[in-house]
Amino acid sequence: MTVALTTHSQGHGPSLTLIHGWGLNAGVWEDLARALADDFQVHRVDLPGHGAAAGETRLGDLDTLADRLAATLPISGSTLVGWSLGALVALQAAARHPQRVHRVILVAGTPRFVQAPDWPHAMRLPVLDAFAQGLAAQYRVTLNRFLSLQFHGLPDAQAALKTLRGRLLDSPPTPEALTEGLGLLRDMDLRPTLAALPCPVHAVFGEYDTLVPAAAETSFKALRPAMGTAVIEGAGHAPFLSRPAEFEAVLRSFLHD
């Protein structure tokens, strides 16, 4: 029997499942979930080795993560919103369990995170490795720096940062989960999966994202011409944090496609 992921649920309405990125946890979605709870039943999952699921230690391979996510979803199905690493989990779950997935919305996520000759708008491998080494060696310092960049120049940035740090830094991921997550970001190439999915797929980019550049929008369209895309102006790698109102508006528009 496949074990479901640790889930935090609230609200009523169509099912919406939020999947966090590498090194963080379900707390990163708390404000968005609250904003959507009047119209959707929102499920925030903690990936293994993260947040409330840190006791599991290991993250696991992508197929197992996809199967465990599918076991978490209602039989009637759900929309998957995958941020960063969570995008890979969402894509794989939709491919392996199409009956459980209504649509996929990628948020600063990509089917391939590192550059290739035919995939230029992605991270250079040394950049990914350097970030990984910093996160593993000094988790709090590196994550603080990442979060600060997301809020740079915003009004009330310090108050927002203090709240978010309280949710995230008290539940650090396990070293094993960080290492396995890095391997997924470095090695997975789900471009054929993205192209072949039977459900609707959309993508949201941050204008200033350096990890998943907005210029990748063209490459996504080449793989899947009909997919909806949006670029959030002034946002970085976490547009739902740096531009929450704009992100919510875009997300709602995709949820009613």
Q: Active-site positions?
A: 84, 209, 237
Nearest-angstrom CA–CA distance, 180 and 197? 25
DSSP 112-165: --B-BTTB-SSB-HHHHHHHHHHHHHSHHHHHHHHHHHHHTT-TTHHHHHHHHH
Check: CB of residue 204 under 8 Å from CB of residue 236. no
Q: How many residues does the chain have?
A: 257
* Residue reference for tokens 């011409």: 225
4: helix, coil or strand? coil
